[in-house]
Structure 1
Amino acid sequence: MAAAIRLFFFFLSTFPAALSSRGDVLELGDADFDYLATEHETMLVKFYAPWCGHCKKLSPEFDRAASRLKGIVQLAKVDCTAHSETCGRFGVSGYPTLKIFRSGKDSAPYDGPRTADGISQYMKKQTGPDSVLLRTHSDLQTFISHYEPSVVGVFSGEDSARLSEFLKAAALLREQFRFAHTTDLRLGAEHGVQSESVLLFRSPRLSSKFEDSVVVFSDHLTISSLRRFIRDHIHGLCPHMTTENRERLRVRDLLTVYYDLDYHLNPRVSNYWRNRVMKVVSQYSGRGLTFSVANKKDFLSELEDDFGLGTEDGGDLPFVTVRTKLGHKFTMREEFTRDGQSLARFLDDYFAGRLKRYVKSEPAPERNSAPVKVVVAETFDDIINDGDKDAVILFYSPSCPHCKKLEPVFRELANKV
């Protein structure tokens, strides 16, 4: 008994960090990191400092993700101010640093979202095989009946060269897309293919009569060609933009329709508006503008800051904006009509160049005849870029003492020239 008690207290002193874990996030330190990390097939570790503001902001999201991933992926954290040896060993130089470990070994940096939803979705893709083996029709239906799109390879046998290349692509792209494969060609026949192919199943929640739910890739299969095919087709005509995928969608000129969209709680209303958008924008595809729908509650601050739209604008009707890859912004000021005609007029005006860009600006001064003209964002192009003279511009802050000292000199110069 005495030996058992001594062993217990030895364990307490040897593994203090792990035993002090709170909630579902495992706390690790110099003494127990290697010992405990090897027990988990997949683990996401947050290396942090208690004083770090970004770490504090991440903490509640990380904790919520840990609860959602319980039993699937272990989340852990290391306080680098107390356990510098472990942090130094894994090359941690800034906070927070997130790394993915597999069976105790540093596998890859985590470069995914920093929200609970984003972390959960990203890490679920890190578990299991790179590509799921489908044996039956039931397996296929279960896999493609998912909230996210699915990529399924159909091959003639396990020795197929195309299957080998497909699995390499799945290993590289698993963080972005869901992959599965089968060696039973009959599963492909159900979707109109008779030979080796790759099928891209768009998300069932976004099914629409205005586009195909399944797209077939039958070209020469390489990692690059498959990546390009998925990138060009996975979103479809009008994807659901979220805070997690917005940067990928905004690499092109993008029109977004914002409304009370929620595919978890209210899929019927979510698709009611999206179908009205799809009916209109399907007539404008291929003209250099891409399209999306989004939940306006997820983007309220952005709508207000970037487009001057408040929560009271439009009521329950959708907002419509365009953001180009050059940063130009446009808003549809006309009320969104259920027949889609207002959206069509907005698009006609956009492509005809008749829309005025939205610019966040102070009001232009009523009088502006002094030698030094006052320029605001809305009048910048008219005063500076459309004239036949060169311009000297003073960018200043009213509170800046150096600016105050320079201002009379600048005015004197304007009077002289």
Structure 2
Amino acid sequence: MHFLKIFAVVLLATCALAKEEDVLDLMDHDFDSRLAEHDTALVMFYAPWCGHCKRLKPEYAKAAEDLIRNDPPVALVKVDCTEGGKETCNKNSVSGYPTLKIFRNGEFSQDYNGPREANGIVKYMKAQVGPASKELKSVADLEKFLAAEKESVVVGFFEKESDLKTAFLQLANKLREKVQFAHSSFAAVLEKQGTTDGVVLFRPAHLKNKFEDASVTYSGKADSADLNEWVTKNFYGLAGVRKGDNQREFKNPLVVVYYGVDYVKNPKGTNYWRNRVLKVAKNFEGKVNFAISPSDEFTHELNEFGIEFAQADKPRVAARDANDKKYVLREEFSVEALESFVNDLLEGNLEAYIKSEPIPESQDGPVVVAVAKNFDDVVTNNGKDTLIEFYAPWCGHCKKLAPTFDELAEKLKDEDVSIVKMDATANDVTGPFDVRGFPTLYWAPKDKKSSPVRYEGGREVDDFVKYIAKEATNELKGWDRSGNPKDVKTEL
């Protein structure tokens, strides 16, 4: 038994190392020489203790496995800035971890600003090498190109120069970081496809189904804008695979079905549920967008819909309408239940889901407490200019701001101004308020609640008072427009 335990540990360690075997580990003494061997390389400068680095490393390794086999190949490199790579990191102005940079023939080319998931890294880096559209010189090239891609690809077939070819190449250059393009003018390829001036979108083999064609041929004008619209409309098909790196490309109204989506470990099971989604999606084509998403990758999003997902559960369904309101299918998943849910969504028969804390029984403190359920009452329709803080209970800056906010609210208690706070981790933030960090503060004038302004000023009481005195719809009683206290005469 002891031997088996040791063997298991060694085996696990070997597997863990094997996952990173395609990532080059370079140090000061070999960075310049080894990097110069590669036409294109992505370098991750990291520190072993960095949490973001630890999360990125497995995604980086997965991407390396794909990119090292790309034509042309892309090298993925890592440099430990705390040990053997200190000098290299200093030379490349690394000030935070992880820092990613693109190098060409050993020379710095540009900072990497792409996704941090494996699929996104692969797509972004493929776009950095070679032309925007890959030339296919044989039928074998076409078949190899189609077989290698894990997402839809767009291929142009052109016997000679044409307006369509010009539009195609323009679009390829514009979308090179999002979509894989290829083209051919070779007779055998054109003959196989049966066109001499056309563009075809091919869907990946693993998404083949009986509800939609495996390829779609463009029939619009020879115009890059029209071609772009066609690619956007057809790229993900009736029910695309929505993941972290592409989630923003799925537009509302959107119905998402969450389950164990995994085309590597369980393609049959993944398609079993997707086919049921497709059966419904086919009936609503052009009215609602559909997607499937891996539940383990979207746990946070499921929580935003109040859904606790267990691995053994049937798929769970959540939706957003055109106004970004949220809805949840409460029944057990079935084709019939999904179809009824989408019909009710389109007809406005569903009650929107609102993530909210209970409405406070009293407002005893100087700062008004907003929750999602009372937001309209205490912010939108309160008839006052409003300064609102969106905070997180664990946020250190928010905790530091709390006594200042209390003091400010106490100072302004007799003014036509409301000081409000809301826990944005426990309540939905809706409307025009864009919260991406904590604390986020907005100034919402009473007559312009639909156009609040993000507050970027100082965080001391006097800073807030001066700002509010200047911006208030009506001049404050106690301060002039410059934020100076007004003289108060005492009657004898």
Structure-1-length-normalised TM-score: 0.74
Higher RCO (CA-CA < 8 Å; seq separation 6+): 1
Q: Which amino acid aligns with 1:87?
A: N
Q: CA deviation at 1:225?
A: 4.2
* Structure 1 match to 2:182: 180
How many Å separate the matches in 2 of 1:302 and 1:65?
24
8 Å CA contact 2:252–2:324 kept in 1: the answer is no
**Alignment partner of 1:82 out of 82, 87, 108:** 87
| Alpha-carbon distance change, 267 to 393 in structure 1, aligned in 2, over 3 angstroms | same
Instruction: Please report the RMSD computed on the Cα atoms of aligned residues, expressed in angstroms.
Output: 4.0
How many Å separate the matches in 2 of 1:70 and 1:100?
15
Q: CA deviation at 1:298?
A: 1.7
How many Å separate the matches in 2 of 1:413 and 1:46?
53
How many Å separate the matches in 2 of 1:371 and 1:47?
48
How many Å separate the matches in 2 of 1:371 and 1:172?
54
* Structure 1 match to 2:114: 112
8 Å CA contact 2:356–2:371 kept in 1: the answer is yes
8 Å CA contact 2:117–2:244 kept in 1: the answer is no
Task: Name structure 2 gaps, 5 residues minimum.
Answer: 1-20, 394-398, 417-492
Q: Which amino acid aligns with 1:82?
A: E
Segment drifting more, 35-44 vs 369-378:
369-378
- Once the two structures are superposed, residues 341-391 of structure 1 have per-residue CA deviations (whole angstroms, 9 ceiling, x without a partner) of 2112212222222322222211245x6699999753224346766x7x736
Whether 1:240 aligns to 2:241 is yes
8 Å CA contact 1:25–1:66 kept in 2: the answer is no
Residues 273-352 of structure 1: matches in 2 within 5 Å? 273-287=273-287, 289-304=288-303, 306-312=304-310, 316-324=313-321, 327-337=324-334, 340-352=335-347
Whether 1:154 aligns to 2:147 is no
* Structure 2 match to 1:19: none
What is the SS of the residue equivalent to 2:179? coil
8 Å CA contact 2:241–2:291 kept in 1: the answer is yes
**Alignment partner of 2:38 out of 40, 49, 52:** 40
Q: CA deviation at 1:109?
A: 3.6
What fraction of aligned residue pairs are identical, expressed as a percent? 38
Q: Which amino acid aligns with 1:156?
A: E
**Aligned pairs, how many?**
379
| Alpha-carbon distance change, 188 to 252 in structure 1, aligned in 2, over 3 angstroms | farther
How many Å separate the matches in 1 of 2:208 and 2:167?
29
- Once the two structures are superposed, residues 271-312 of structure 1 have per-residue CA deviations (whole angstroms, 9 ceiling, x without a partner) of 22222222222222323x3111112122123212x1111124
| Alpha-carbon distance change, 230 to 185 in structure 1, aligned in 2, over 3 angstroms | farther
Q: Which amino acid aligns with 1:345?
A: S
Task: Name structure 1 gaps, 5 residues minimum.
Answer: 1-21
What is the SS of the residue equivalent to 2:87? coil
8 Å CA contact 1:368–1:374 kept in 2: the answer is no
- Once the two structures are superposed, residues 53-87 of structure 1 have per-residue CA deviations (whole angstroms, 9 ceiling, x without a partner) of 54454345435544554564222345486346632
Segment drifting more, 202-211 vs 233-242:
202-211
Q: CA deviation at 1:235?
A: 1.3
- Once the two structures are superposed, residues 113-146 of structure 1 have per-residue CA deviations (whole angstroms, 9 ceiling, x without a partner) of 2134443454345455543333444433333234
Residues 12-411 of structure 1: matches in 2 within 5 Å? 24-27=23-26, 29=28, 34-48=32-46, 54-55=52-53, 57-63=55-61, 65-66=63-64, 69-70=67-68, 72-77=73-78, 79=81, 82-83=87-88, 86-88=91-93, 95-124=97-126, 126-127=128-129, 130-145=132-147, 146-157=149-160, 162-163=164-165, 166-167=168-169, 169-184=171-186, 187-188=189-190, 190-191=192-193, 193-249=194-250, 251-287=251-287, 289-304=288-303, 306-312=304-310, 316-324=313-321, 327-337=324-334, 340-364=335-359, 376-381=371-376, 390=383, 400-402=402-404
Q: Which amino acid aligns with 2:318?
A: T
How many Å separate the matches in 2 of 1:126 and 1:201?
22
8 Å CA contact 1:371–1:411 kept in 2: the answer is no
Q: Which amino acid aligns with 1:350?
A: L
Q: CA deviation at 1:36?
A: 3.7
Structure-2-length-normalised TM-score: 0.64
| Alpha-carbon distance change, 134 to 410 in structure 1, aligned in 2, over 3 angstroms | closer
8 Å CA contact 2:159–2:190 kept in 1: the answer is no
Q: Which amino acid aligns with 1:295?
A: P
How many Å separate the matches in 2 of 1:66 and 1:165?
33
How many Å separate the matches in 1 of 2:111 and 2:387?
44
Q: CA deviation at 1:219?
A: 4.0
How many Å separate the matches in 1 of 2:24 and 2:256?
37
* Structure 2 match to 1:14: none
- Once the two structures are superposed, residues 189-244 of structure 1 have per-residue CA deviations (whole angstroms, 9 ceiling, x without a partner) of 555x5430111112222223322222112444455443333222211221111111
